[in-house]
Amino acid sequence: MKRKLIAAIGVATMIAGIAACGSDKKDDKAAEKPADQTGTVTVWLMAEAQTAWPELVQNTTAQFKAKYPKVNVKIQYQQWSDKVQKLDAALSGSSAPDVVELGNTETQTYILNGALAELDKKSFQNSDTWIKGLEDTCTYQGKLYCAPYYAGARVAIYNTADFKAGTGSDAFPATEDELTAALDKIEAKKGGDKTYSPLYLPGQYWYAAMSYVKAYGGQIAKTDGTKWTGDLESPQAQQGIQHFIDLVKKYNHGDQTKDEADHANVMAHQKAGVIYGNGWEAGSVITPPNGNAKLKDVIKTATMPGPNGKALPSFIGGSDLAVVNKSKVKDLAKEWIADFTDEKNEAALVTKQTLPNNTKQLEPMKADPATAAAANAVPDAWFTPIAPGWAAIEKQGILKTMLLDILKGKSVADATKAADDKINSLINTAS
């Protein structure tokens, strides 16, 4: 078995690396040589691939063209805001894309509705070390429907100058008790500025709130294998939510009812000592136009300590790539994904403070202080329930509403009960 696997990986690498022989593959185009194959592969990537890491597309196009000179690859960049409508419409017609990028909380919707084609895990480089949280979002009943593309984990982003001024040290505390002590000191030091928050946790930041739920051993929803039920009413989950709310109320001196959309901006204006954000958001804080270049050497990332002396479990976000079931060039599409997510491209992502899709390449990131915190957060990371109706729950902002209600004065018990009821009504229906 193992030998087989190694052999398979070898073949996969060969396909990805050198021009593969058509005869090796058993598909409908087997008779055709790659150089003679024609057709068009349409790829829908999200805008980051155009703005944040354009070299991935350039690499892949060059590589793919070398193998299939007559195949035309059309890359079309999409915006997150209205992509769902566009994709939903396109899948109903005859002009759907062949490859599509999906956020990892969206994939289940498309898998369950039969929109995606099954993939062979062995054809992707480093697939044996794929980050499990990401791979799980692509898997349904043991079959793989998409390939992980990149990941993101949340870390503490802090202002070393504020820490130095408040505590005398620019090191980030390792435990939550030490952190709150440091925050109190910073607060005392900055007392004059009523808009300064030692820890800026926005009240509707549900990814953070759920990390505290996870830290206490709670979860958003539980399953008995067939049916899902909301689990926010459990004592552990309530404890976690209460802990989060306490932190918000104590240390956030901005408007506590916002979500995290502009927390990097708060930090860029030097109105926050610590924010809890995606690893790459440290870059947003210091990079113009929106960031503040003066903070270049001041902003650092660290592992966020959680309750009970452990690190705070991070939500793992990211993107996956899938082949649309209606595609007429599935094999070419699969190969394009394999090229796009190969080791070289994933390495390029690492340089953009983005986590690669596999632990093999993640390992070296742990040694680099700039990326260590995010890389270290991956093993303990949590993910949203891989349930049929999860996308609807997220899009309707049910967890945000729950947190807002608590901030407005509803008891944690009542708010979690209401949220569970809503979750139960949506979670088991494919969305």
Partner 1 sequence: MSAADTHATEPVTGGRPQLPSPLTTRPAAKRTGRAAGRSRQSRSLPYLLIAPALVVMIGVLGYPLVDTIVLSFQDERRNNLWNGVAAPWVGFDQYTSILGDSEFWTVVVRTVVFVIVCVVGTMAAGLLIALLMQRVSNWVRVTMSSVMIAVWAMPLLVATSVFKFMFDSDYGLVNQLLTRLPGVDYTRHNWFLNPTTGMGIIALLVIWGAIPFIAISLHAALTQVPKELEEAARIDGAKGFGIFRYVTFPIIKPVFIMTSTLSVIWDFGVLGQILLMRNGQPEQDYQLLGLYSYTQAFTVNSFSRGAAISVVTVLLLSGIAVYYLRQLLKIGEVE
Partner 2 sequence: MSTAVKSGPAATDSAGVTYRTPKKNRSGWNVLGIVVTVLMGFPVYWMIITALRPSQEILSYHQKLYPSSVTFSQFKRAMDMPNFWDNVKSSVIISAFSVVIAIGIGLLAAYAIGRFKFWGRRGLIIALLVIQLIPATSMLIPIYIQLNKMGGLNEYWGVIVVYAASTLPFAVWMLRGFIVNIPKELEESAMVDGCSQMTAFRRVVLPLLAPGLVAASIYALMTAWNEYLFAYVILQDNDKYTLSIWLLKFTGQRGTDYGALMAGSILIALPVVIFFLFVQRKVASGLTAGAVKG
> Does residue 408 interact with partner 1 by CB under 8 A?
yes
Do the beta carbons of residue 41 and residue 333 sit within 8 Å? yes
> Does residue 92 interact with partner 1 by CB under 8 A?
yes
Question: Residue 280's closest CA among 264, 303, 304?
Answer: 264
> Does residue 255 interact with partner 1 by CB under 8 A?
yes
- Nearer of residues 42 and 123 to partner 2, judged by Cβ: 42
CB atoms within 10 A of CB 328: 13
- Nearer of residues 41 and 412 to partner 2, judged by Cβ: 41
**Residue from 88, 120, 193, 368 in contact with partner 1 (CB under 8 A):** 88
Alpha-carbon distances, residue 179 vs 161, 174, 184, 200, 232 (angstroms): 15, 7, 9, 13, 27
Do the beta carbons of residue 37 and residue 328 sit within 8 Å? no
List the single partner that 259 binds among partner 1, partner 2, none, CB under 5 to 8 Å by kind.
partner 1
> Does residue 332 interact with partner 1 by CB under 8 A?
no
Please give the torsion angle defined by the CA atoms of residues 280, 153, 61 and 330, in that order, rounded to the nearest 10 degrees: -150
Q: How far is the CB of 52 from partner 2 (least distance, A)?
A: 7
> Does residue 257 interact with partner 1 by CB under 8 A?
yes
- Nearer of residues 28 and 297 to partner 2, judged by Cβ: 297
Residue 414 corresponds to which tokens in the numbers above? 């009542």
**Residue from 214, 275, 400, 427 in contact with partner 1 (CB under 8 A):** 400
**Gap between the Cα atoms of 214 and 237, Å rounded:** 7
Q: How far is the CB of 204 from partner 2 (least distance, A)?
A: 17
**Gap between the Cα atoms of 392 and 365, Å rounded:** 34
Alpha-carbon distances, residue 276 vs 61, 125, 288, 297 (angstroms): 36, 32, 20, 18
Q: How far is the CB of 33 from partner 2 (least distance, A)?
A: 29
Cis geometry, peptide bond prior to residue 307 (ω within 30 degrees of 0): no
Q: CB under 8 A: which stretch of 227-235, 255-263, 281-289, 347-355 binds partner 1? A: 255-263
Do the beta carbons of residue 361 and residue 350 sit within 8 Å? yes
**Gap between the Cα atoms of 377 and 383, Å rounded:** 12
Phi-psi region at 360: left, alpha or beta (left = phi > 0; alpha = psi -120 to 50)? alpha
Q: How far is the CB of 114 from partner 1 (least distance, A)?
A: 5
- Nearer of residues 49 and 241 to partner 2, judged by Cβ: 49
Interface with partner 2 (CB under 8 A): 42, 46-48, 50-52, 74, 76-77, 79-82, 85-86, 88-90, 92-95, 195, 262, 264-265, 268-269, 271, 280, 284, 288-290, 292
Q: CB under 8 A: which stretch of 47-55, 81-89, 335-343, 357-365 binds partner 1? A: 81-89
- Nearer of residues 79 and 226 to partner 2, judged by Cβ: 79
Q: How far is the CB of 405 from partner 1 (least distance, A)?
A: 9
CB atoms within 10 A of CB 360: 15
- Nearer of residues 88 and 177 to partner 2, judged by Cβ: 88
- Nearer of residues 54 and 235 to partner 2, judged by Cβ: 54
**Residue from 85, 94, 141, 226 in contact with partner 1 (CB under 8 A):** 85
Q: Kindly state the number of chain residues that form the binding site for partner 1, as judged by CB under 8 A.
A: 36
Residue 425 corresponds to which tokens in the numbers above? 């009504």
**Residue from 23, 194, 289, 297 in contact with partner 1 (CB under 8 A):** 194
**Gap between the Cα atoms of 346 and 170, Å rounded:** 32
**Gap between the Cα atoms of 343 and 125, Å rounded:** 7
Question: Residue 189's closest CA among 172, 209, 168?
Answer: 168
- Nearer of residues 285 and 323 to partner 2, judged by Cβ: 285
CB atoms within 10 A of CB 394: 18
Do the beta carbons of residue 286 and residue 160 sit within 8 Å? no
Do the beta carbons of residue 343 and residue 126 sit within 8 Å? yes
- Nearer of residues 50 and 236 to partner 2, judged by Cβ: 50
Subset of 359-398 contacting partner 1 (CB under 8 A):
391-392, 395-397
**Gap between the Cα atoms of 47 and 247, Å rounded:** 34
**Site for partner 1, rule CB under 8 A:** 81, 84-85, 88, 91-92, 109, 112-115, 194-195, 253-255, 257-259, 261, 266, 325-326, 391-392, 395-397, 400-401, 404, 408, 426, 429-431
